[in-house]
Structure 1
Amino acid sequence: MKAFGFLSFGHYAIGNQPGPDAADTLRQALELAIAADELGVNGAYFRVHHFAPQGASPMPLLGAIVGATKHIEVGTGVIDMRYENPLYLAEEAAALNLLSDGRLALGVSRGSPEPALRGWEAFGYHAAEPNGADLARAKFEQFLSAIDGYAVAEAAPAEQQYPRMYQPGTPLPVFPHAPGLRRHVWWGAGSHATAEQAARDGVNLMSSTLVSEADGSSLGDLQAEQIARYRAEWADAGHDWTPRVSVSRSVFPIVDDRSREMFGMQATGRDQIGSLGEGTPVTFGRTYAAEPDVLIEQLRADAAVMAADTLMLTIPNQMGVDLNLSILQAFAEHVAPALGWRPATEGRVEGYPVG
């Protein structure tokens, strides 16, 4: 593991519920990212969910973080392609990557189960498959074509153009174009098959917070197999660059009385098998909470953590900036160096694309 960042689900309170509201949550995310940048934390990543009191529109937040920081990578984990206009997303991603000097890590996927029944239809999109997988796939392919600079429209007759720039019928791509943007795109894979497809597509792998395989093996072992299959498929595809791989974990270093009181009872001894309501068993990861020396050994024994180059720490964002910053600081000071961490302030780790 060479890099680590935080992954926020962006939970906020609505109505009379206790906790930060939507505005507070966004401001706190920006504040945490600025402080994490100063620590040398490598990445600030945000989940995207619709029809729920969580983060839903990441680009304004990512843009604000880019403008207020110098080193930290900004990204998503993940954008649900079923809800997206792929050409507009291509324009936004290119602009953000240019503004950030290549600090974008755009995670996308089919998306996870959600509160809304076929919520993407409310956004104006329709799918043949019940879970919208066909819709997500078609949009993803169009998105990749657009960011690679391929034409997606043609110039109008001269008298209809304003300003007149092209010969009628000229193939037109979307603008701006950010060369190499595909190297900043990640597919959020929840299965071995989708990881292998990500390799064939030529994008980075963001292994999900859970996997659809459930044979009794640990999440770490299942994800390690997923990563191995992804890398083998990548080699077979013959791509001319080295991709990145991330995994996410809940990790709480216990370094003082406060952290012991807050997280001492959070540790779980094993992963769990459950369901997300789609009829397929899934494997959920355990929560790590222990003194640093114990955490180091536990994470070294997690095959997927050691196989990946980036570790995303899921944080309880609704508990405020100070607490979450203390988690990141404790991990940076007491755990990450033993896992091969290179702070963002010392330059980008091997494999990070530039520009």
Structure 2
Amino acid sequence: MQRFGTLSFGHYGPLGGGRELTAGDSLKQAIDLAQGMDDLGVNGTYFRVHHFARQQASPMPLLSAIAARTERIEVGTGVIDMRYENPLYLAEEAAALDLISDGRLALGVSRGSPETVVRGYEAFGYAGSMDSRGADLAREHFELFLRAIDGETLAERDAHSPFGGGTGGQRVEPHSPGLRSRIWWGAGNSDSATWAGTVGVNLMSSTLLTEASGQPFDELQAQQIATFRQAWRAAGHEGVPRTSISRSIFPITTAEEQMYFGGRQDGDQIGVIDGIRSTFGKTYAAAPDVLVEQLLQDEALRSADTLMLTIPSQLGVEFNLRVVESFAKYVAPALGWVSTRG
């Protein structure tokens, strides 16, 4: 494990007891937490994107604010739902953010997760999908997005423009060289991972897979990573692609952490998501020395270069920073991690 960071779902709303976490609170706390993690030398802060829900929905302003307030930490998404995106506008935003952050963007995209509404992307103006889950629409948008960030000319200049249009083709601006190497595809199964490797983007694998063969989750995920790397090599891409996995991991060092997570240690689960039998990864919650022993046996963690810790963002900056600091101090070094602060 070369890198680790946090993956936040960005939930906000009522907390019980008359308390409420507002959307503004959630955004500002995410910035404060990222600053604290940057000081610790943590490698990344990543956000899930959900529309029509009390969660993060517009990551670019948030990531830009974090990039402006930090020095080293990678800023990213895990993942943006491409069904909802204008590919060229997203390419402009991604390039601008990559330039602002000096290449610290890790933009994860995919078809997205199950929604709280029916075909919500159609309300955003993107209709015509022939797939019940909109997968064809997501791939179509993604392919145009890649063409844009690669600098392909996508419009003809107007020779009569008073602003110096000239002749020939025009790419979208701004353009950030090398951005393609910082794009990730969130794959839920081996077929999607193979596609990502063939296309030539990095791989994000979550805490669930839309596969249920009876194998342990970490073994399934390790096979997915191997399939991805094989497809990358077969396609003739240069360099070594990055791979990330997500895990729910809680080092228990205080009575408060024991109260919240002491009973959360469980095994893999089989369930149904989007009508597909799926495997859900287990939660790790134990004393740091126990976690080290358990995580050293996690096949996917041994295969991936980046670990994303899912965090309970509703519990606030101080609590989450303590969880991250405990992982960085007591667990991560035993897994091969070295702080960006040296």
Q: Corresponding residue for 1:272? A: 269
1:328 and 2:330 aligned: no
Aligned match for 1:135, one of 137, 141, 161: 137
Q: Corresponding residue for 1:76? A: 77
Tell me if structure 1 keeps the 8 A contact 2:3–2:306: yes
Moved segments of 4+, more than 3 Å: 14-19
Counterpart secondary structure, 2:133: coil
Partners of 2:341 and 2:163 in 1: CA distance: 44
Partners of 1:157 and 1:115 in 2: CA distance: 47
Tell me if structure 1 keeps the 8 A contact 2:158–2:165: no
Aligned ranges for residues 332-347 of structure 1 at < 5 Å?
332-346=328-342
Partners of 2:250 and 2:96 in 1: CA distance: 35
Aligned ranges for residues 155-170 of structure 1 at < 5 Å?
155-158=157-160, 161-167=161-167, 170=168
Tell me if structure 1 keeps the 8 A contact 2:83–2:141: yes
Partners of 1:40 and 1:19 in 2: CA distance: 31
Tell me if structure 2 keeps the 8 A contact 1:151–1:173: yes
The size of the alignment, in residue pairs, is 340
Q: CA deviation at 1:242?
A: 0.9
Partners of 1:18 and 1:221 in 2: CA distance: 41
Tell me if structure 1 keeps the 8 A contact 2:184–2:201: yes
Counterpart secondary structure, 1:345: coil
Partners of 1:294 and 1:15 in 2: CA distance: 31
Q: Corresponding residue for 2:2? A: 2
Partners of 1:208 and 1:184 in 2: CA distance: 18
Q: Output the aligned Cα RMSD.
A: 1.3
Structure 2 unmatched runs, 5+: none
Q: Corresponding residue for 1:105? A: 106
Partners of 1:259 and 1:95 in 2: CA distance: 39
TM-score (norm. length: structure 2): 0.97
Q: Corresponding residue for 1:283? A: 279
Cα-to-partner distance string for 1:101-145 (whole Å, 9 max, x where unaligned): 110000000111101111001000011211111110110000000
Tell me if structure 2 keeps the 8 A contact 1:78–1:109: yes
Partners of 2:246 and 2:275 in 1: CA distance: 24
Cα-to-partner distance string for 1:216-235 (whole Å, 9 max, x where unaligned): 11111110000010111111
Partners of 1:344 and 1:48 in 2: CA distance: 27
Q: CA deviation at 1:18?
A: 4.0
Tell me if structure 1 keeps the 8 A contact 2:210–2:278: yes
TM-score (norm. length: structure 1): 0.94
Partners of 1:299 and 1:142 in 2: CA distance: 39
Q: CA deviation at 1:162?
A: 3.5
Q: Corresponding residue for 2:302? A: 306
Aligned ranges for residues 74-223 of structure 1 at < 5 Å?
74-126=75-127, 127-158=129-160, 161-167=161-167, 170-223=168-221
Q: CA deviation at 1:15?
A: 11
Letter in structure 2 aligned against 1:275 = V
